[in-house]
Amino acid sequence: MAPYERNQLILSIAWTWPAIISMLVLVMIPVWGPLMPPLEGQVLPVTTKVKFINPRPVDGGTHVRMSYVKLRDCQILGVSMDKNGVPIEFEPVATSVDSLVTRGTGPQISREWFVGADSTEGVRLRWVHRCGPWWTTITVAYP
């Protein structure tokens, strides 16, 4: 086989449709990687919207409990809250266990949480879950 024929054979094998599609997927990782967590959270949310129950004003903020329905069986990685884009304190109260618990699907009522704001008006609550091996899922649960 002549060198020219060998090069043509390599090119015809290397540039088949599966190879081209695989290369396009790899090239798109930097693009779809950051877009997938919030996109999946909008299309396939892990939880329903949260309802704050039993709000109780305290020094520097409010104690609340949350009521929601968990729709998908995913592992919880974190939770965050911000008000008008500025992160605010959001953590379990001292009398509750300070750990994130992965719960099963169905209706849920959370332990008591401290919100570093006088009210829940204008705040945004986001859950971060791992539902698959490729990316995390970010669900905006409030408002």
Domain ranges of the chain: 3-36, 42-142
Burial class of 139 by CB neighbour count within 10 A (0 to 12, 13 to 18, 19+): buried
Q: Are 93 and 120 in contact (CB under 8 A)?
A: no
Q: Are 53 and 67 in contact (CB under 8 A)?
A: yes
- Residue 112, both tokens: 């008591």
pLDDT at 10: 62
Q: How far apart are the first and last CA of the chain?
A: 68
Which class is domain 42-142?
mainly beta
The rounded mean pLDDT for the chain is 83
Q: Is the pLDDT of residue 3 over 70?
A: no
- Asked whether the whole model's pTM tops 0.85, one would answer no
Burial 95-123 (b: 16+ CB within 10 A, else e): eeeeeeeeeeeeeeebeebbbebeebeeb
Name 110's Cβ contacts closer than 8 Å, sequence gap at least 6: 65, 66, 67, 68
